Amino acid sequence: MASLPPAEQALAEAVLGAPGAAQRRALAKSITLLESTRADHRQRADALLNALLPHSGGALRLGISGVPGVGKSTFIEGLGLFLIERGHRVAVLAVDPSSSVGGGSILGDKTRMERLSVHERAYIRPSPSSGTLGGVAEKTREAMLVCEAAGHDIVIVETVGVGQSETAVAGMTDLFVLMQLPNAGDDLQAIKKGVMELADLVLINKADLDENAATRARAQITSALRFFGPHAQHGAQVLQLSALQGLGLPEFWAAVTAFRDERRASGALAERRRAQDEAWMWERIEAGLRQRFKQHPGVRAQLPALADEVRAGRLAASVAARRLLDLLN
C-alpha cells in the first residue's frame, strides 16, 4: 500500500485491522467515500478499493429478493443472528433503485432489524441512493468488497422483488434466493418474468400460516423451476420456512452450504465470480459510453428531434443511430 495517500492508507489499515468500533467506523467512512460523486473523492475511493481488493473475496455472497411484505427483514435478521451464533460475521447491504426517488429505502430504517443492527459482529448498510440502477448496484458491489476486506465472511445483499434489481443482485452474489408467500395459484404470478430463472433457491416464507397452501405452492414452484430455473436438469431447491417463528433456518443454511461446497469443488463458484466481474466491467464501460454520448453537445442538440422522427416512423432507427454516431467524429 506504499502508493496510497496517507489518509487512505490509514483508512485501509483501519478497515483491515482496527478493533471493534474503530473498524466499523472505518468501514462506514470507506463506503461513504465510495458513494461520493465528487471526482476527487472518486480518485481516492479507487485507490482505497485497489488497496483493499486483495483482502476481499473471502465471503459467501448471498442475494435475497422478494416483494414487499414477504418478510425479508425478519428473515435476514433471524438468519444473521443464527450465523453470528455460529461464529460468522455478517454484512447486510441492499440494492434499491427506488431509494433515489426518496423515502422508504430498504434497510434505511434500521429499526427493522433492531437486534442485528446493534450487534458488533454485524454491519448493516442501507441502499445507496444515487440515480440509476447501474449506479446503485455499483456502489453496493464496491461496499461488498470493503465489508469482505473487513473480515465479514457472509455478505447478504437484499433487494425488492420489483424491477430489474434482481438481475443486478444475482449478478453480484454466489447464490440468489427468491422469497415467496405461500399463496398457491394466482399469486404464483408474483413470480415475475425472468426472476424464476435467476433463483438458485426458492424460500416459501410464512409457511406456518397455511401449511396446505405452502405445500401446493412448493409443488407448483418446483415444477416451474424444473423448466425455467438455472439448474433445470436437477430442479432447483424449494424450501419452506417461517421467519417469524424461526423455523427452517438450519435447513436453509444446510442447503446454502451444500450448494456452495458443491460449486466450490467443481470450480463453478470461481467461474461465476470471474464472469460476474467481467460482465460488471463491461456494464460500467457501456454506462459510461452512454453517458458521454448523451452529454456530447452535437448529440444533445439533435437527439430529441431525431428520436421523435424515429417514433413517428419518418426516419429508420438505424439511419438515426448512424447520424448521431457520425456527430462524434
Give contact residues for a second copy (rule: CB under 8 A): 42, 46, 49-50, 53-54, 57, 138, 141-142, 145, 188-189, 191, 193-194, 196-197, 224, 226-228, 232, 273-274, 277-278, 280-282, 284-286, 288-290, 292-293, 307, 310-311, 313-322, 324-325, 328
User: Of the two residues 97 and 171, which places its CB atom closer to a second copy in the complex?
Assistant: 171
User: Of the two residues 82 and 228, which places its CB atom closer to a second copy in the complex?
Assistant: 228
How far is residue 26 from each of residues 21, 23, 156, measured CA to CA in Å?
A: 9, 5, 20
Task: Count other Cβ atoms within 10 Å, centred on residue 266.
Answer: 10
User: Of the two residues 80 and 171, which places its CB atom closer to a second copy in the complex?
Assistant: 171
- Cell 452535437 maps to which residue? 298
The least distance separating a second copy from the CB of residue 328, rounded to whole angstroms, comes to 7
- Three-state secondary structure call for residue 172: coil
User: Of the two residues 106 and 221, which places its CB atom closer to a second copy in the complex?
Assistant: 221
Do residues 225 and 284 lie in contact, with contact meaning Cβ atoms separated by under 8 Å?
no
HEC profile for 44-89?
HHHHHHHHHHHHCCCCEEEEEEECCCCCHHHHHHHHHHHHHHCCCC
The least distance separating a second copy from the CB of residue 269, rounded to whole angstroms, comes to 13
The least distance separating a second copy from the CB of residue 52, rounded to whole angstroms, comes to 9
The least distance separating a second copy from the CB of residue 229, rounded to whole angstroms, comes to 9
How far apart are alpha carbons 79 and 90 in whole angstroms?
9
The residue among 52, 56, 237 whose CA lies nearest residue 152 is 56
Give strand ranges (E) for the chain: 60-66, 90-95, 122-124, 154-160, 175-180, 201-204, 237-240
User: Of the two residues 82 and 280, which places its CB atom closer to a second copy in the complex?
Assistant: 280
User: Of the two residues 301 and 319, which places its CB atom closer to a second copy in the complex?
Assistant: 319
Specify the DSSP element, H or E, that contains 17: helix 6-17
The least distance separating a second copy from the CB of residue 112, rounded to whole angstroms, comes to 29
The least distance separating a second copy from the CB of residue 317, rounded to whole angstroms, comes to 4
> If phi over 0 gives left and psi between -120 and 50 gives alpha, with beta otherwise, what is residue 320?
alpha
The least distance separating a second copy from the CB of residue 187, rounded to whole angstroms, comes to 11
User: Of the two residues 227 and 254, which places its CB atom closer to a second copy in the complex?
Assistant: 227
